[in-house]
Amino acid sequence: MKLGLLQLNPTIGDFDGNVAAIEAAARECAGRGAELCIAPELAVSGYPPHDLLQYPDFVRQNLAARDRLVALSGELGCGLLFGLATPTPNDWGKPLYNSAVLCDKGEVIATKNKALLPTYDVFDEARYFAPDPTPCVATFRGRRLGLLICEDIWTNARLLGRIPYDADPAVACMRAHAEILINVSASPWGTGKHRLREKLVQAVAKQTGLTTVLVNQVGATDDLIFDGGSVVVAGDGPTLTRLPVFHKAAVTVDLTEPGRAETWREDDVADEIDALVLGIRDYFAKTGFKKALVGLSGGIDSAVVTCLAAKALGAGNVHAISMPTRYSSPGSVDDSRELAEKLGCGFEVVNIDDAFELQRKLAGEPGGIAEENAQARLRGVVLMTRSNAEGSLVLATGNRSELAVGYSTLYGDMCGALEVIGDVPKTRVFEIARRFKQMPEAILNKPPSAELRPDQKDEDSLPPYEVLDAILEAYLDGHAGIDEMQARGLDPELCRRIVRMVEIAEYKRRQAPIVLRIGKRAFGAGRRIPVAKKL
């Protein structure tokens, strides 16, 4: 049996564009002999559509797109399997299923409804969808296909830890005499996630003894980045086919012949760069913007964001502004200029010192941290005003370590449409920076500093970033308490201080831009902590 794997990048609500993308990829694979072409979970509407599913017109357009694709299967000479939302038959409970439609020759053969609805991390599918535990095994051109949707295979406690389900839809399909398992997926990426996902598919194939196919979405939607990384795994466990990560693909696979699996690199830093570039590129493309503004300070964070933006959008679409005050070092401007010239980005200097002095007097010369924050807010005003005037988007430049402990200025350096490295620890920022050949050595080597007071260094206020990031990883990713952190060799008093800083800063993060997610638990929808709480 020949399958067409359609690793697509849908845009939420672009029903015409999404149908056209499915059709173009399916025609390509059908031309190479594919009998069935498989598109990702909710490929018709894009994933995740969130509360758009509560709008009847959105659901109607989604169903009209389904009908167009069913009719298309009568023209293509191959069947189609694709994801969409479908109404439930009941007048109680949730009104929709997360479904996949299998069609051929202009007719619907089967509709599979998702059994397991994730409600952890960034997922909230039970808000919209009803679960349907009924196994779906459909006969397609003489073969019995067990149909599954994304979370339906995330049931392996050995790989995943505690599982919130008491069912295994893949095993249910095996018991219903499926010959092949097909999973349509929209599984977002985090560092190493494509390799974990492959192990999961391998485990399903070994457990059931069935060749297992997973076709995953690629592209970015707001904070979520999807890698693709679709795979075909034989029933005895080896991977037959791997599709590329972070790129669209339409690949034809013959299940009767030995496959040639693409090799994925073992380089997390390179993967993270590609993911962030994809996140920037799709955010701009899907919101209709072309040009980015960056406040380039001469520090490592803004330099990395500028490099990522230039790679994502093209250097000609990135404009950097240096905004020195009396506390800025000469290198803050010179190093910024050097980077912009090497990248080919636009660059200018806007000295805000006179405006800072006026602001100090208007505010009654408050001194201290208030005056430090005033400089950052003036920079935010310049960037947002230019953005407003020119129709560009500001990219914020804060990293995860700073966002975590509130080492950032609300309405200042937190201004922007997208927080590009807000899920990248400071120690990783340096690793990423070293991958860009345009990065000036002076930026790589200077001690981190906000340069908002004389001789300021980040370590005046924070522990060394290696220590800070270890504490944050334990607390934010591992949910460790102080005793557990102490057992890991961390200073308990320092841990208490950092944890308090994290919790106090929650109100700031509620007002932060969208943070591109590449880690286990990024700030945003995946971490829901009350602002008003006992510390």
For the chain, domain boundaries: 2-255, 271-454+507-515, 463-504
Quick one: pLDDT at residue 449?
Answer: 80
User: How high is the mean pLDDT of the chain?
Assistant: 95
The predicted structure's pLDDT at residue 41 = 98
Average pLDDT of the segment spanning 514-534? 89
Q: What's domain 271-454+507-515's superfamily in CATH?
A: HUPs (3.40.50.620)
Does residue 448 have a pLDDT over 90? Answer: no
Q: Does domain 2-255 have CATH number 3.40.605.10?
A: no
How many CA within 13 A on the CB side of residue 46?
24
DSSP 398-459: --HHHHHHT-S-TTTTT-SSEETTTTS-HHHHHHHHTT-TTS-HHHHHSPP---SSTT--GG
Q: Cα(268)–Cα(20) distance, rounded to whole angstroms?
A: 33
Stretch 265-280: mean pLDDT: 98
Q: pLDDT band at 323, cuts 50/70/90?
A: very high
According to the model, what pLDDT value does residue 331 have? Answer: 87
- The residues, any chain, with a CB within 8 Å of residue 251's CB and separated by 6 or more, are 4, 5, 7, 29, 230, 241, 243
**How distant, in Å, are the alpha carbons of 105, 291, 529 from that of 534?**
62, 43, 12
Q: What is the pLDDT of residue 123?
A: 94
Residue 363 to residues 360, 381, 461: CA-CA distances in angstroms?
5, 16, 25
Domains 2-255 and 271-454+507-515 share a fold: no
pLDDT of residue 177 exceeding 80, the answer is yes
Structure tokens, 245 = 């990560």
Confidence bin at 257 (pLDDT 50/70/90): confident
Predicted confidence band of residue 32 (pLDDT cuts 50, 70, 90): very high
pLDDT at residue 93 is higher than 90: yes
pLDDT grade for 527, boundaries at 50, 70 and 90: confident
Residues 6+ apart with CB under 8 A from 441: none
Closest CA to 328 of 376, 280, 382, 270: 376
Asked whether the beta carbons of 510 and 532 are under 8 A apart, the reply is: no
> Comparing 15-24, 108-117, 380-389, 453-462, which segment has the lowest mean pLDDT?
453-462
Condensed to tens digits (0 to 9), the pLDDT of residues 228-242 reads 999 999 998 789 999
Question: Which single residue is written with the structure tokens 């564009």?
Answer: 17
Question: What are residue 390's DSSP bridge partners?
Answer: none
- pLDDT over 90 (residue 458): no
Which positions are catalytic? 41, 114, 150
Confidence at residue 459, expressed as pLDDT on a 0 to 100 scale: 80
pLDDT of residue 297: 94
Distance CA 347, CA 337 (A): 7
Summarize the confidence of residues 13-41 as an average pLDDT.
Answer: 98
- At residue 161, the pLDDT reads 93
Mean pLDDT of 404-428: 96
pLDDT digits (tens, 9 = 90+) for 50-85: 999 999 999 999 999 999 999 999 999 999 999 999
Mean predicted confidence (pLDDT) in 360-385: 92
Q: Which of 55-69, 326-340, 518-532 has the highest mean pLDDT?
A: 55-69
Q: pTM for the complete prediction?
A: 0.96
